[in-house]
Amino acid sequence: MMSQLDKNKKYTLEEFLDYVKEEERAELYEGTPVFMAPASYEHEGVIINLGSEFNQVLKNSSCQVYGSNLQVIFPFKDENKGKDDVTVMPDISIVCDKSKLRNKRCYGAPDLVVEVLSPSTARNDRLLKLNYYEKAGVREYLIVDHQNRIIEKYVLKEGFYQSEDVYSIENETFTSTIFPDATFAIDDIFGFLD
């Protein structure tokens, strides 16, 4: 079924949510709809492995790990732009404040977000989304490059992201800053790619 969204038109958050179908994978970048292609098996494998690691550590906490179908809404208001709300579907979202979860969505910043790069999303993940997540107050943002087997960690400090570490096969053990018990071998995430 074809969407009624026109990628060349600007939409308010309400219009976007009215138009987008539940089964569609689309995000809204300051009024502009962005449609997402299906992911590769490598991309999905990395998401499952990372999500499993975080889920193990957080299973007895108030935090919940969500996959790539959770719509996250950042209500950015800017009089100069008008249609500036942002809706994203991160590959992984960890939400500790359950009051943000309502109407099938997350309203406001998850505590941690993971984006796994793919050729069609890499630019948005590194530039636009990094800016959105920083502005919204996502405390930790991981950018995962499965082709080079790298995890980049950005941590929010005084309202701005600082690149805190880059993990690779050489720097073998990942540790989350905001969830210090989340420690795992990089090979546990990327090993299936061998």
Q: What does the pLDDT look like over 106-158, one tens digit per residue?
A: 999 999 999 999 988 888 899 999 999 999 999 999 999 999 999 999 999 99
Query: What count of residues does the chain have?
Result: 194
The pLDDT of residue 36 is above 90: no
Q: What is the pTM of this model?
A: 0.90
pLDDT digits (tens, 9 = 90+) for 46-100: 999 999 999 999 999 999 999 998 999 987 765 444 457 889 999 999 999 999 9
Contact indicator for 162, 155 with CB cutoff of 8 Å: yes
DSSP H or E stretch at residue 161: strand 160-167
Contact indicator for 95, 88 with CB cutoff of 8 Å: no
Three-state DSSP at 176 gives coil
**Distance of alpha carbon 149 from alpha carbon 144, whole angstroms:** 8
pLDDT digits (tens, 9 = 90+) for 46-55: 999 999 999 9
